[in-house]
Amino acid sequence: MQGKPKIKAVIFDIGGVTLKWDDNIVYRHIAKMTGKSQKTIVRSAKRHMKRFDKGLISETEFWKLVGRDICCRDSISGLWEEHFQRYARRNEDVISAIKKLRRSGYKAATITNVIQPHYRYNKRKGLYKLFDKAFTSCNLHMRKPEKQIYLYSVKRLGVRPEECLFIDNQKENVAAARKAGMKALVFRNAGQMKKQLRLLGVKI
C-alpha cells in the first residue's frame, strides 16, 4: 500500500507571514489626509487592487482611480513604498524557519500578491534571496487565489502539487491552494506554523 506523498517544498506568503504588514496602515493615512471614510477607501482600493497586484496599472493610475471613486482631487502618490519602508517588519521566527527548512533539504518558495513598490523594496532588501524561487504577482500578471499561479509555481519548482505545503494568512488563498491539489495551512503565528509543520512530518 502506497503511503502519503512526502512534502518536498514549502511555499510561504510574504505580507502577513514572512513580513508583518497590514495595508490598512496606508488606508488609515489616506482617510486622515482626505477626510474620507476608511471603509469607502478600502472598498475602492479592493476594486482596483487586482490589476495593481498583477502589474497591469501603475501606482499613479491606481490612486487616480481610487481618487475618482472617493471624489478626492488631492494628489495621492508614493504612499505604498513610503509606509511599507517605515512600518513593514521581518517576522524573524518565520525567516529562521525558512532557513532551517532549506538546510534540511526542502525547497522553499514564496507565492505573493505584491505591488511593484513593495516588490522593488523587498528586492533591494534581499528578501527574495531567502527562497529558492519567488513567484510574484506583479511580474507574473496573475495572483492568488487564481489557480494558475499555484500550478505555475509547482511546475517551476519541479514537484507535484501534493508534495507542496502552502502557508498563507488569508483563508481564501489557502482554500485555493487546496483546490489546486496542495497541502495548505492558515498562518496565525510562527509557533502554530511550526507545530503544524511537524504534524505533517516536516523536519523543522
Q: CATH number for the domain including 115?
A: 3.40.50.1000
pLDDT digits (tens, 9 = 90+) for 94-147: 999 999 999 999 999 999 999 999 999 999 999 999 999 999 999 999 999 999
Banded model confidence at residue 78, pLDDT cuts 50, 70, 90: confident
Which of 32, 60, 86 delimits the end of a domain?
Answer: 86
Do 141 and 57 form a contact (C-beta atoms < 8 A)? no
Q: In this structure, are 106 and 142 located in the same domain?
A: yes
pLDDT digits (tens, 9 = 90+) for 17-56: 999 999 999 999 999 988 999 999 999 999 999 999 999 9
Position 77 scores a pLDDT of 74
Position 76 scores a pLDDT of 78
Q: Region 82-86: what's the mean pLDDT? A: 94
Average model confidence (pLDDT) across the chain: 95
Q: What angle do CA 121, 127, 199 make, to 5 degrees?
A: 140
Q: Name the least confident of 61-65, 147-151, 190-194.
A: 61-65
Q: How far is CA 70 from the centre of its chain?
A: 27
- Structural domain of residue 32, as residue ranges? 24-86
Q: In this structure, are 13 and 52 located in the same domain?
A: no
Per-position b or e across 135-154, b if 16+ CB within 10 A of its CB? bbbbebebbbbbeebbeebb
Residue 6 CB-density burial (10 A; 0-12 exposed, 13-18 middle, 19+ buried): exposed
Residue in this structure with the C-alpha cell 489557480, named with its chain if needed: 147
Tell me how far apart the alpha carbons of residues 75 and 34 are, in angstroms, rounded to a whole number: 10
13 belongs to a structural domain:
yes
**pTM of the entire predicted model:** 0.93
Tell me how far apart the alpha carbons of residues 173 and 2 are, in angstroms, rounded to a whole number: 29
Q: In this structure, are 65 and 96 located in the same domain?
A: no
The DSSP H or E segment spanning 83 is helix 79-87
Q: In this structure, are 45 and 126 located in the same domain?
A: no
Q: State percent of the chain over pLDDT 70.
A: 97
Q: In this structure, are 68 and 102 located in the same domain?
A: no
Q: In this structure, are 60 and 131 located in the same domain?
A: no
* Interhelix angle 171-179/147-157, nearest 10 degrees: 60
Q: In this structure, are 100 and 64 located in the same domain?
A: no
Q: In this structure, are 114 and 82 located in the same domain?
A: no
Position 204 scores a pLDDT of 87
Q: In this structure, are 160 and 173 located in the same domain?
A: yes
Helix, strand, coil share (%) of the chain residues, nearest 5: 55, 15, 35
Position 3 scores a pLDDT of 55
159 belongs to a structural domain:
yes
Omega of the bond leading into 5 within 30 degrees of 0 (cis)? no
Q: In this structure, are 114 and 72 located in the same domain?
A: no
Residue 4 has pLDDT above 80, yes or no: no
Residue 141 is given by DSSP the state: T
Residue 1 has pLDDT above 80, yes or no: no
